[in-house]
A and B are shown apart, each in its own frame.
Chain A
Amino acid sequence: MEGDIVQAAKFIGAGLAMIGALGGGVGIGLSVQGALEGMARNPDTYGNLFTNMILGIAFSEAIAIYCLVIAFLMLFVL
């Protein structure tokens, strides 16, 4: 019984931790939106904007990945 409650708490905790991915998703969406608008207005900037967009995506994605790591720790390590 006690083990079951611990198991359930792990699953709930992992699910709650992944709420943080919300921020990463919003951040990635905003950066792609900005880059695409820039590209649509001035297609010549494609190469430069694409590189910087990937960088921005990587930074906002890192936050979501921290949540994912926490979720993995709860599921498979603790």
Chain B
Amino acid sequence: MENSQTRHRPVNRWLVLLFFVLSIIAATIFPPIAPHIQVAPEVISAAPLFSLPVLGNIYLTNTLVASFIVYLSLIGIAFIVRRAIASGEMVPRGFAGAMEAGIEALYNLGESTAGRWARTIFPWFATIFFIVLLANWMELFPGVDSIGSLIEAPGEEGYPALHWGPVAAIVPEGTPGASGRYEVIPWVRVASTDLNFTGALALIAVIATQVIGVRAQGGRYFTKFINFTTIFKKPFLGAIDFAVGLLELISELARILSFAFRLFGNIFAGMVLLILVGTILPAGAKWLQSGVLVFEFFIGAIQAFVFGLLTLVFMTMATQGHAEEGDEGH
């Protein structure tokens, strides 16, 4: 965002103050209440979208909606930057300039790590980084996780709701005019709080790592896992090498799990934190939960960076023969 500061626009500061005051007013009128929390994403379509032979019915979930919003906004960003480049300016300004600076910083990092394989590996690294970054930052937007359809809650769970025509809001117990017991099924929920999303990204990252390894080393890449190269020359040390190769295979599989659970755990914890902090705070200080947003902004960026960086490092390790790799991350 360096280039956007060329003109002095003091109105931005007052906007920050305005949103600050608005958040205080909103949190006083509608105090945050703890909604129903579940790990699996909520299904928002009544009928299945389509059926697959092994997997069964596929429903539209709210995390799927969020991930498609992420993809569409990434494509939109790509078109904006492309138009800025096509306009012929040597130094792009504003948003395109910020994107250029970001991509350049990422590419320098990728080149310093991956060396001559940077051009092959960088697209994976940057794509994963931007997808995860946008998906994580979606939880900072108002309305994500909180706007949705109202359903009748089973038993004693849920909260009473205030109705105004077609819209309604759930409110704490004892609010005058509220009735019934309802739960909110959000229409959009952060994509990274769904293990399907993080698991899919992890699978893509690990499988692409193997593909790049084979492209770099050919069939020799698989001797990293099933290592018979030294067992005939030196039987004892060769057997140890073979066992180490099997451990490599296991660690490759464990990477899928650790990729998926790291992102899911961090962002799901962030979502629960964002929801619950507001309900823990005393009545006059509910607006303080906005501070958690800053923390989540940071965590979302760090997790996106870590996911991308680990992909970069594993792909780089796969391109090198196993003579060079001394230290394994696990």
Contacts and interface: CB of A to CB of B under 8 A. Distances in A.
Answer whether A and B are interacting partners.
Answer: yes
Contact of B306 (A47, A48, A54, A73): A54
A9 B99 CA distance: 50
Q: How large is the interface on B (under 10, 10 to 19, 20 to 34, 35 or more residues)?
A: 20 to 34
Contacts of A68: 265, 269
A77 B305 CA distance: 29
A76 B113 CA distance: 40
B309 A72 contact: no
Interface string A31-71: 00000000000000001100100110111011001101100
A49 B265 CA distance: 26
Which of B112, B265, B272, B329 has the largest number of chain A CB atoms within 10 A? B265
Contacts, number: 50
Given A72-B39, A77-B39, A58 B265 contact: no
B37 interface: yes
Contacts of B310: 55, 58
Given A65-B261, A65-B266, A59 B305 contact: no
Contact of B38 (A47, A65, A76): A76
A72 B268 contact: yes
B265 A51 contact: no
Binding site secondary structure of chain A: helix
Q: How large is the interface on A (under 10, 10 to 19, 20 to 34, 35 or more residues)?
A: 10 to 19
B313 A55 contact: yes
Interface in B97-115: 109, 112-113
B268 A58 contact: no
Contact of A69 (B112, B265, B306, B330): B265
A7 to B, nearest CB: 13
Contacts of B262: 58, 61-62, 65
A66 to B, nearest CB: 6
B39 A54 contact: no
Contacts of A54: 302, 305-306, 309
User: What 4 A-B pairs come out closest when comparing CB atoms?
Assistant: A65-B265, A58-B306, A62-B258, A62-B262
Interface of B: 37-40, 109, 112-113, 258, 261-262, 264-266, 268-269, 272, 302, 305-306, 309-310, 313, 329-330
